[in-house]
Amino acid sequence: MTKGEPMAVLDSLERVQSLDSRNVFRLLHDMPEHCETALAIGRSLAVERFAIKPNVLLLVGVGDSGFAADVVAEVLADDVEVPVLTEHTATIPACVNEQSVVFIIDYLGNTPTSLRAYKAAQERGAHVVCVTSGGKLRESAAGSARVLSIPAGQPSRFGLVYMALAPIAAAQAMGLASTSDQKASAAILLAKNAREFLRFEVPTARNQAKQVAEMLFGKVPVVIGGSDYRALVGRRWVSEISANAKQCALTCSFNDLADGQVCAWEQLASDTCEPAFVYLVDELDWTTENETIRQASSEVLSKFTRIDLEMKGANNAERLIYGMYFGDYVSYYLALLREVDPYKTESARSIASRLAPRETATATSAVIEKEAGEETTADEI
């Protein structure tokens, strides 16, 4: 910034101090270190390797925990030699039996769905591993199932790295995977490098995340990517923009856009609800139809803001972590632009208090009133 040049809004420490009530800024900055802790937790799982290969690996979770299950499945997909399934309800697939491995993922450990799924998996005789920070799930699993205890004290959306990376490392410790732990470690190094360019101290003029946030401000972000790991990146962007910035956002795939969605966006009146399109670009897209769709749709939607954002990394695991981490920073900077607290989600937690079972309703209400760190969201019920 040259002398006399006004400071960019997103470079104002005063704005951060006035809006960020629970130091989300620090949670974002420390995310790579949280990832390292998560891997260490997973590696510590004491278990004998299977003499007979399991028939299936099932990951169960809902809401943020369910998203974590999908992330684990994506990273393990090309490394585990048995089918990897995810389930977002309490219904256990018929193929699960005493030869199966089931991870029950629930950040707070009080989600009725996960508790029912745990009971069902136990009744099938499956090898169950619970990933939680506490609650009834850890109590139920004590002495009868393995537990990966992850740190409590933050909203479940920020606990994603613990819920995802601990099972990845544990799967390798169990002998189910051979390279996923190493891929996750490389992805963490990439995230640390990206942080040096995305963190708040880097001014807007040199900070791509701040620049993207400014381009999305006042518009409806539409995050577009391939039907691969980028589907998860897009979901994470929508989730974080919604929760942190309190701003509507959407996601779709390149094929969704080509199959008809582009027609609706083209006709949208820009003065009522102007979209801004974020293309999650992969270096391998030039070998597929994705690049053709991106170019053609960009021409059709040329009157709107369009951003090409490269997913960096040597493999899908690295690109996945990078894309989600970048989006987390964008959502934070959007919250600052919109002058909202990125931590608070009162409406979602109000719904959660109504959905909570009777025996935990009082505790849930206390969490809401006290603005406790272990924030419960509606999609965790």
pLDDT, tens digit (0-9, with 9 covering 90-100), for 97-116: 999 999 999 999 999 999 99
Residue 265 has pLDDT above 90, yes or no: no
Closest CA to 318 of 67, 103, 74: 74
Residue 7 has pLDDT above 70, yes or no: no
Q: What domains can be seen in the chain, in order of their start residue?
A: 24-185 (3.40.50.10490), 203-338 (3.40.50.10490), 346-380 (no CATH)
The reported pLDDT for the residue numbered 93 is 96
- The answer to whether 50 and 174 have CB atoms below 8 angstroms apart is yes
Categorize the per-residue pLDDT at 368 as very low, low, confident or very high, splitting at 50, 70 and 90. Answer: very low
Q: What is the mean pLDDT of residues 204-210?
A: 97
Q: What is the mean pLDDT of residues 183-192?
A: 98
The reported pLDDT for the residue numbered 272 is 64
Reported pTM: 0.91
In the chain, the DSSP E strands lie at 57-60, 84-87, 101-105, 127-132, 146-149, 220-225, 250-253, 275-281, 305-310
pLDDT, tens digit (0-9, with 9 covering 90-100), for 329-365: 999 999 999 999 999 988 777 776 666 555 454 444 4
The reported pLDDT for the residue numbered 6 is 54
Q: What does pLDDT average to over the chain?
A: 90
The reported pLDDT for the residue numbered 372 is 45
- The answer to whether 250 and 225 have CB atoms below 8 angstroms apart is no
The reported pLDDT for the residue numbered 357 is 57
The torsion angles phi and psi of 284, rounded to 5 degrees, stand at -90, -5
Categorize the per-residue pLDDT at 266 as very low, low, confident or very high, splitting at 50, 70 and 90. Answer: confident
Q: Residue 199, Cβ neighbours under 10 Å: how many?
A: 14
For residues 212 and 114, what is the distance between their CA atoms, to the nearest angstrom? 37
Residue 203 has pLDDT above 90, yes or no: yes
The reported pLDDT for the residue numbered 47 is 79
The reported pLDDT for the residue numbered 3 is 42
Residue 59 has pLDDT above 90, yes or no: yes
The reported pLDDT for the residue numbered 374 is 44
Q: What is the mean pLDDT of residues 236-241?
A: 98
Residue 269 has pLDDT above 70, yes or no: no
The structure tokens 């069902």 sit at 120
- The answer to whether 181 and 172 have CB atoms below 8 angstroms apart is yes
Percent of the chain having pLDDT more than 90? 78
The reported pLDDT for the residue numbered 48 is 76
Report CA-CA distances (Å) from 177 to 53, 181, 183, 258. 12, 8, 11, 36
Categorize the per-residue pLDDT at 259 as very low, low, confident or very high, splitting at 50, 70 and 90. Answer: confident
The reported pLDDT for the residue numbered 114 is 95
pLDDT, tens digit (0-9, with 9 covering 90-100), for 296-324: 999 999 999 999 999 999 999 999 999 99
The structure tokens 């979770």 sit at 61
Pairing mode, strands 220-225 and 146-149: unpaired
The amino acid at 365:
S
- The answer to whether 56 and 95 have CB atoms below 8 angstroms apart is yes
Cβ neighbours of residue 52 under 8 Å, at least 6 residues apart? Answer: 99
Categorize the per-residue pLDDT at 52 as very low, low, confident or very high, splitting at 50, 70 and 90. Answer: confident
The torsion angles phi and psi of 164, rounded to 5 degrees, stand at -95, -50
